[in-house]
């Protein structure tokens, strides 16, 4: 089986991508990143999803982006927005350099594994305006990766797969249902509690809920009480 590294956050998008890579016959090595995010329940979800979806290995790597701050996801003094999905500009939930760092770690593990494929669940349709989720960024990273590694110089070029980048949230969910993804195992909320229950108000929760509604699929998301 051809090896692949799949970035697995524990959320809906990355779970769908892992299921897709497994269906395509890859021996999937799931990589999760503990970057100091406030929604740490997603890391526990990633472990469960890797096992449920058939990854051959799962690894969680810790870095500390919280020491820089600059994002509502890594700095407790910055509130997670709950007034509705921001239509213009880049929201405070953007984490500086996060995707570049995560992709670089996936690249490193892929080279060690002699894997030529990295899968990433970036999405440029129903997303929160992050610049490092755009297709042009993904292609630029792939070009950089093939200049930067021993493997590529020796002829083993890397392919960065972003299979859901042009799909709506509803289309992602429909594909995941076809692949047998149990979305009750996923955690998407930016401020999920320790049990993985969602707030229902942040951008990620709103996009997730609207995706299930548009797909006509039962939403298994668990929410914590409003007074918590």
- pTM for this predicted structure: 0.95
Q: Residues 146, 151, 156, 161: is their CA dihedral positive or negative?
A: negative
Question: Distance between CA 189 and CA 198 in Å, rounded?
Answer: 5
Tens of pLDDT, residue by residue over 95-135, are 999 999 999 999 999 999 999 999 999 998 866 678 999 99
Tens of pLDDT, residue by residue over 2-44, are 999 999 999 999 999 999 999 999 999 999 999 999 888 999 9
Tokens found for residue 94: 């953007």
> DSSP assignment, residue 65?
G
For 210, phi and psi rounded to 5 degrees? -65, -30
Instruction: Provide DSSP, 9-57.
Output: -SSHHHHHHHHHHHHTT-EEEEEEEE-S-S-THHHHHHHHHHHHHT-SE
User: Residue 179 pLDDT > 90, yes or no?
Assistant: yes
């Amino acid at each position: 089986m051809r090896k692949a590294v799949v970035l697995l956050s524990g959320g809906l998008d990355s779970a769908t991508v892992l299921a897709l890579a497994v269906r395509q016959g890859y021996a999937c090595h799931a990589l999760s990143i503990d970057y100091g995010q406030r929604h740490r329940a997603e890391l526990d979800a990633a472990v469960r999803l890797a096992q449920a979806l058939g990854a051959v290995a799962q690894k969680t790597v810790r870095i500390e982006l919280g020491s820089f701050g600059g994002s509502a996801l890594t700095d407790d003094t910055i509130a997670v927005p709950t007034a509705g999905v921001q239509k213009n500009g880049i929201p405070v939930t953007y984490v500086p350099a996060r995707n570049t760092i995560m992709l670089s770690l996936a690249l490193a593990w892929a080279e060690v594994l002699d894997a030529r494929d990295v899968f990433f669940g970036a999405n440029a349709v129903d997303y929160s305006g992050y610049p490092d989720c755009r297709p042009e960024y993904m292609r630029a990273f792939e070009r950089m990766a093939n200049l930067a590694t021993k493997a590529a110089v020796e002829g083993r070029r890397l392919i960065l797969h972003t299979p859901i980048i042009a799909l709506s949230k509803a289309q992602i969910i429909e594909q995941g249902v076809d692949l047998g993804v149990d979305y009750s195992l996923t955690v998407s909320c930016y401020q999920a509690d320790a049990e993985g229950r969602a707030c229902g108000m942040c951008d990620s929760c709103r996009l997730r809920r609207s995706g299930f509604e548009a797909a006509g699929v039962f939403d298994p998301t668990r929410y914590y009480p409003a007074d918590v």
